[in-house]
Amino acid sequence: MEKLKNVFVFDHPLIRHKVAILRDKNTSMKEFRELIEEITTIMTYESMRDVELVPVQVETPLEVTTQYKVADDSVAIVPILRAGLGMVNGVHKVFPTAKVGHIGMYRDEDTLEPHEYYCKLPEDIEHKTVFLIDPMLATGGSACDAIAALKQRGCKKIKFMAIIAAPQGVEKVALAHPDVPVYVSTLDRCLNENGYILPGLGDAGDRLFGTK
């Protein structure tokens, strides 16, 4: 895969450690869910480096000083249903007041094409930095369509975050939406004939929610 300016792959020892446990088929649902949240929190810190700050006056025990904060109500979280729900608390640990929207995409099992079936977003979404989140970035179809759906609803500042990604999916999203930074915890080898990431970790939604 060619190096793309809007793609950021994390190479952090702590993330590597947690991803290794995440992949293990014997990792329990409880631990899997906790790891997803922990990895998301680390990624959120890194992906917020360019978020705009506003000056505020703060009174310390000794004096009044000008400090800088992320503007109130300026961040929104939009998980792609359903697996994206597992990442919400990870972002909330950094920004507990962030509003949460939801976008539902399903993949046709025969064509592997994504289809939107639900979208509910916070008010004034067009003025917020939106974290679009999904643990797995496979073919990239759902992510591309979800980003397009957000743009159609006025979103101008979108950041996409995935924990495990295939090169094909990363490239597709990055080229289709060059204005959207794509943050990936781990870049895997490839997709199999069924569109699953290898080595991957199986179906993230099933492992998060205990379904088959």
Residues forming the active site: 107, 111, 203, 206
Nearest alpha-carbon partner for 129 in 8, 47, 41, 10:
47
C-alpha dist (Å) from residue 204 to 88, 166, 181, 183: 14, 14, 22, 18
State the DSSP string of 91-151: HHTT-TT-EE-EEEEEE-TTT--EEEEEEE--TTGGGSEEEEE-SEESSSHHHHHHHHHHH
Name the token pair of 40: 């998301």
DSSP state of 84: T
Cα distance between residue 47 and residue 165, in whole Å: 16
